[in-house]
Structure 1
Amino acid sequence: MIELGLPWVLATLPLPILAWRFLPRAKERRAGALRVPFFDEMIGSVRAGVLGRVKRFGAIAAMIGAWSAMVVAAAQPSWVGEPQSIPTQGRDLMLALDLSGSMAQQDFAVNDRPIDRLSIVKAVAKRFVEDREGDRLGLILFGSRAYLQTPLTTDRETVGQMLDEAELGLAGKETAIGDAIGLAVKRLGERTAEERVLVLLSDGASNAGVMDPIRAAEFARQAGIRIYTIGIGADTRAFGGLGLMSLGGGDSLDEETLRRVAETTGGNYFRATSTEGLIEVYRRIDELEPSEGRESHVRPMRALFHFPLGAAFVLSAMLVMAHVAGALGWNWTAGRGR
């Protein structure tokens, strides 16, 4: 299909006619008159030289064609093909999930029924993973030590299955937040993606491992990795609520460290004290780090302006050559008459 980039330019097509119709004619300069007895024969000779090859109507048609072709070229015609899908580059996003013993506490609720922290976290995180179309996702599980459960992959189904298989105590009963960040930095640092993100969720304080969380966050910042931290656990003063702000939390939750880790890397810290609050946290992260790898469509385009432009050049060249040929014919005729 042919489209015009500047279709309004076509409105200039009648400009020559309007100029001929409404602009005043140039005044003729009249000098002294001289009667020439063979005037008719001279005019006939001139007409034969100038318009012999290109008749009057042919010259007018050539001028109209040249003008029209130039206007069409200025309108930027192009051929546009059918839409074609292309993949775009998404983010490298690593999830780090706390499997320490405190995740067994049943201080969340679904339909007014108590449920343990790990079960609700797995359900909400799995939904988050399913919506990250086009991103490369990975999963780190940490307790006393940190383990890479799933390397970065675009297979969201596999990441979801690994989440389902996560069990309490699988990585130990303590909490090695610094080691989890360090492992994520190592894996994400090997990638060349422009957007590299770690989402770390914990309900406690770092009390195991060899890496200090703040020091690990510095390494993440140097590697260009943003970290979003989530502290979970029902408020000891008021069960429920959205819980995006700090509400006091459990006694073991180290909110200050989680907040400093996020701020050091340019991320954000969130506090979730209920099921609805945790869902909202992941929704907020999805807004802050939108999936850019969703399939997009483009339509191939090829410019066609050179075709009418070339036609205008050819017609203009023909008119110029006809004019030059006429002038040379007049001079040759005049030379013979001497």
Structure 2
Amino acid sequence: SALPSVARAVRVRIVALAGVLALAVVALAGSAVVAARPMAERVIQPETRSRDVMLCLDVSGSMTDVDAEVLELFSRLAEDFEGERVGLTIFNSSPVQVFPLTDDYAFVREHLDSIRASFDYIEDVPEFWVGTLNGPGASLVGDGLAACALGFDNPDQERSRSIILATDNEVNGAETVTLEEAGAYAASLGVRVYAIDPVTEGSETGAALKAMAEGTGGRYYGLHDTTTVAGIVEEVHAQDAAVLRGQPRIVKVDAPGAWPVVIAVAAFALVLVGWRMRV
């Protein structure tokens, strides 16, 4: 009577070993498939917002102590934007466009960081500043603001346009365009100006900045106001903007399918069968 029991136990063990072998084959095959990183093609269509924001920075001597702080603020603003195009123009006695409007935020952050680092120069004028000293005078804010207003492309498109102007408005020299005239020109283009002033509020120069900004439909902020970043972002986002779809493009993505689940189930079954065989 013992022989049938032994034969049955042998058959069960053979079946169990066959099951272990099958599970091992399945797990190895699944691992090979996953390791080969099967790919699938997916069509994506990037979206942008029809909002343009031009950062406008005074790099004159009177702003030296605060420009690095302003650029840090610009970086924080860029982090909070989503889909807006951002550009940067700097000025002293003459304006220079550092980069045109773009929605490549990695590119924007890289250039803002590079400019911030350039303020540590000792002798050589930083490359970003070349062209900002092409005339007499310094901190010609009206000329700088007018250049920023000219930095918007596609004038025939319905887009929300804003300038974030950081300056102490300490003009030294004869401007081709005054601050009031530049503000009026920006307003005629439908551009709102948000002024950031590092000087304590209540100064005569600050009052002129505030009047100009509010005349365009924008607002005036102090550099160290706790609501400056949130306020500007909220103001920009409050402006109507349509979602624009870019050109469709094909991207390749990992497509492991159900193999990770199959591998996990096979591994669990192997452990369970192995434990049962030992018992």
Same fold, TM-score > 0.5, yes or no = yes
**Structure 1 segments of 4+ aligned residues over 3 angstroms from their partners:** 291-296
Per the alignment, residue 216 of structure 2 pairs with: 265
Amino acid at match of 1:144: S
Per the alignment, residue 206 of structure 1 pairs with: 171
Secondary structure (helix, strand or coil) at the match of 1:187 reads coil
Distance 1:213 1:229 in 2: 12
Per the alignment, residue 228 of structure 2 pairs with: 281
Structure possessing the higher relative contact order (Cα contacts under 8 Å, 6 or more residues apart): 2
Give the counterpart of 1:232 among 158, 183, 198: 198
Amino acid at match of 1:206: V
Give the counterpart of 1:87 among 11, 27, 47: 47
Residue pairs, 1:88-107, within 5 angstroms: 88-105=48-65
Identity of aligned residues (%): 28
Name the CA shift for 1:86/1:152 in 2 (closer, same or farther; >3 Å): closer
Amino acid at match of 2:76: R
Shift of 1:293: 7.5
The alignment's C-alpha RMSD in Å is 2.7
Amino acid at match of 1:281: T
Amino acid at match of 1:220: A
Amino acid at match of 2:228: V
Per the alignment, residue 158 of structure 1 pairs with: 107
Shift of 1:120: 1.5
Shift of 1:221: 1.0
Residue pairs, 1:283-298, within 5 angstroms: 283-290=230-237
Secondary structure (helix, strand or coil) at the match of 1:227 reads strand
Distance 1:160 1:293 in 2: 25
Distance 2:160 2:94 in 1: 26
Per the alignment, residue 186 of structure 2 pairs with: 220
**1:211-265: CA deviation from partner (whole Å, max 9, x where unpaired):** 11111111111111111111113x4xxxxxxxxxx2x46xxx7112211211221
1:103–1:203 CA contact under 8 A, matched in 2: yes
Shift of 1:143: 1.1
Distance 2:76 2:244 in 1: 20
Q: Which consecutive residues of structure 1, in runs of 5 or more, have no partner in the other structure?
A: 1-83, 106-116, 236-245, 297-338
Shift of 1:86: 6.6
2:76–2:229 CA contact under 8 A, matched in 1: no
Shift of 1:283: 1.3
Secondary structure (helix, strand or coil) at the match of 2:237 reads coil
Distance 2:210 2:52 in 1: 22
2:62–2:170 CA contact under 8 A, matched in 1: no
2:168–2:206 CA contact under 8 A, matched in 1: no
Shift of 1:294: 8.1
Name the CA shift for 1:181/1:104 in 2 (closer, same or farther; >3 Å): closer
**1:151-198: CA deviation from partner (whole Å, max 9, x where unpaired):** 011111222222223245723482021112211221226442420110
1:102–1:204 CA contact under 8 A, matched in 2: no
**1:265-323: CA deviation from partner (whole Å, max 9, x where unpaired):** 11111123x3xx2x531210001111868899xxxxxxxxxxxxxxxxxxxxxxxxxxx
Secondary structure (helix, strand or coil) at the match of 2:165 reads strand
Distance 1:205 1:270 in 2: 16
1:178–1:212 CA contact under 8 A, matched in 2: yes
2:57–2:165 CA contact under 8 A, matched in 1: yes
Q: Which consecutive residues of structure 2, in runs of 5 or more, have no partner in the other structure?
A: 1-43, 120-124, 246-279
TM-score, with length taken from structure 2: 0.58
Structure with greater Cα Rg? 1
Paired residues in the alignment total 183
Distance 2:58 2:164 in 1: 11
